[in-house]
């Protein structure tokens, strides 16, 4: 079973009004946070020691604010317990407003071989509407610095559907991103509802003080972006993910394929199978405190940093595997997943046939794949398996 490590760094220069991530605009306690990661890891060591990780993802927050020396200490602690495969994918999220050549060089020297740059848009009006503090040229400069530092695998994040954005504006962002020729792109429609917390932007929309493009406009933007990226040689391999051949995100693929992950840090989520050789025995998922202060205080006092935890039986894992697996354009093999989890495939195949009848998917033997329309309605399709 694939296994990866996720570290969350919750500090940002400012809080974007649409963001529901565990992040806060306060000065980062660089060394203290690194020590907390090492302490949390020590408390989880018996469960994970000896496992080899195929990927590490440092997300946030704004990890490119983390002083390289402090990050090095945290990484050393992780490597000591969980060594990485020789060809492991090590990704760090970078903010165009918080990066420079020296930092990128230092991250490269620490073993990071992939950067995910949070561009979101190149358009000044869209960036302002999203509350971002960087500019389009800042994003291009960050990209050039990353290349100069030796990163041969770069991903750009874009958001479409910002207040005031037009369909042409969304396509323009995709075109400008493609011109930089990153190996990977993650492209998300702006989410206002269904988030973990109500954001300031969602509140303004609910009160009628702010308008965002409606569902149809957002769908059209998605279509235009798809045309632009396909024309530029990118292949959509997951609902929001595009890559040049061979550059699909290995860490994210691990999530979509039901792998295990050791989550460390404030707000991080982890998942461990009871027995990695037998997924039918179920597993456990947990999440750490979303408040950095609560997380640090818990770890430093020797208490558990977890704010929730749930036991997942094989039938729960099956629902998740099918629902999340459907995010992948390659689809999900129902019989193979059921065999792995010791479950009867018939009810799932029946639900799959229902999706085919509704024109959302194809079923080839037991391989279920959403088509473009199905990917647009993924949430609806996934509900069929719940
Ligand atoms: S920089 Fe990213 S993590 Fe930080 S507030 Fe903005 S969207 Fe959230």
Residue/partner pairs of 341-348 with CB below 8 Å, 24 or more apart: 341/279, 341/280, 341/314, 341/315, 341/317, 342/280, 342/314, 343/280, 343/314, 343/315, 343/318, 348/318, 348/322, 348/385
**Does the beta carbon of 165 sit less than 6 angstroms from any atom of ligand 1?**
no
> Is the peptide bond prior to 61 cis by the omega test (within 30 degrees of 0)?
yes
**Does the beta carbon of 65 sit less than 6 angstroms from any atom of ligand 1?**
no
**Does the beta carbon of 126 sit less than 6 angstroms from any atom of ligand 1?**
no
pLDDT score of 24 more than 80: yes
277 C-alpha vs ligand 1 centroid, how far in Å?
37
- Fold classification of 315-383 is Arc Repressor Mutant, subunit A (1.10.10)
pLDDT value, residue 333: 98
Do 147 and 182 meet the contact criterion of CB atoms below 8 Å apart? no
Residue positions counted in the chain = 386
87 C-alpha vs ligand 1 centroid, how far in Å?
29
pLDDT-based confidence at residue 1 (cuts at 50, 70, 90)? confident
pLDDT-based confidence at residue 254 (cuts at 50, 70, 90)? very high
pLDDT digits (tens, 9 = 90+) for 123-133: 999 999 999 99
Which bin fits 220, alpha (ψ -120 to 50), beta or left (φ > 0)? Answer: alpha
DSSP string, 355-373: HHHTTSEEEETTEEEE-HH
pLDDT digits (tens, 9 = 90+) for 117-172: 999 999 999 999 999 999 999 999 999 999 999 999 999 999 999 999 999 999 99
Residue ranges per structural domain of the chain: 3-254, 315-383
pLDDT-based confidence at residue 223 (cuts at 50, 70, 90)? very high
**Does the beta carbon of 16 sit less than 6 angstroms from any atom of ligand 1?**
yes
pLDDT-based confidence at residue 212 (cuts at 50, 70, 90)? very high
User: Which residues pair with residue 6 across a beta bridge?
Assistant: 57, 263
pLDDT score of 195 more than 90: no
Indicate the pairing of strand 283-288 with strand 306-312: antiparallel
pLDDT-based confidence at residue 235 (cuts at 50, 70, 90)? very high
**Does the beta carbon of 63 sit less than 6 angstroms from any atom of ligand 1?**
no
**Does the beta carbon of 61 sit less than 6 angstroms from any atom of ligand 1?**
yes
CATH 3.20.20.70 fits 3-254, yes or no: yes
53 C-alpha vs ligand 1 centroid, how far in Å?
27
**Does the beta carbon of 23 sit less than 6 angstroms from any atom of ligand 1?**
yes
DSSP letter for 208, please.
Answer: T
pLDDT score of 322 more than 80: yes
Do 70 and 103 meet the contact criterion of CB atoms below 8 Å apart? no
Mutational test site, ligand 1, from 14, 16, 138, max ligand atoms within 8 Å of CB? 16
pLDDT digits (tens, 9 = 90+) for 91-111: 999 999 888 999 999 999 999
């Amino acid at each position: 079973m694939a296994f990866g490590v996720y570290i969350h760094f919750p500090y940002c220069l400012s809080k974007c009004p649409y963001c529901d991530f565990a992040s806060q605009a306060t000065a980062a306690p660089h060394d203290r946070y690194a020590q907390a990661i090492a302490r949390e890891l020590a408390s989880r060591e018996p469960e994970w020691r000896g496992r080899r990780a195929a990927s590490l993802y440092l997300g946030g927050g704004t990890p490119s604010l983390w002083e390289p020396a402090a990050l090095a200490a945290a990484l050393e602690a992780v490597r000591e317990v969980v060594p990485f495969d020789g060809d492991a994918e090590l990704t760090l999220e970078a903010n165009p407003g918080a990066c420079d050549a020296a930092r990128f060089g230092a991250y490269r020297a620490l073993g990071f071989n992939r950067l995910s740059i949070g561009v979101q848009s190149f358009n000044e009006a869209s960036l302002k509407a999203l509350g971002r503090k960087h500019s389009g040229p800042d994003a291009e400069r960050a990209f050039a610095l990353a290349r100069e530092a030796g990163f041969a695998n770069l991903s750009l994040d874009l958001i479409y559907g910002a207040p005031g954005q037009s369909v042409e504006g969304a396509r323009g962002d995709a075109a400008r991103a493609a011109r930089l020729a990153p190996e990977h792109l993650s492209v998300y429609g702006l989410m206002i509802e269904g988030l973990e917390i109500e954001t300031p932007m969602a509140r303004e929309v609910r009160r009628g003080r702010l308008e965002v493009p409606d569902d149809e406009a957002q769908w059209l933007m998605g279509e235009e972006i798809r045309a632009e990226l396909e024309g530029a040689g990118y292949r959509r391999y997951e609902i929001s993910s595009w890559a040049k051949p061979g550059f699909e995100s290995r860490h994210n693929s691990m999530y979509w394929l039901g792998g295990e992950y050791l989550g460390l840090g404030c707000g991080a989520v982890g998942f461990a199978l009871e027995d990695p050789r037998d997924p039918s025995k179920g597993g456990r998922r947990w999440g750490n405190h979303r408040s950095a202060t609560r997380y640090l205080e818990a770890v430093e006092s020797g208490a558990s940093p977890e704010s929730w935890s749930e036991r997942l039986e094989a039938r729960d894992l099956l629902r998740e595997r099918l629902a999340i697996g459907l995010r992948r354009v390659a689809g999900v093999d129902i019989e193979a997943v059921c065999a792995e989890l010791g479950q009867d495939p018939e009810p799932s195949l029946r639900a799959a046939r229902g999706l085919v009848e509704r024109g959302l998917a194809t079923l080839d033997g037991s391989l279920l794949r959403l088509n473009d329309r199905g990917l647009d309605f993924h949430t609806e399709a996934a509900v069929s398996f719940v």
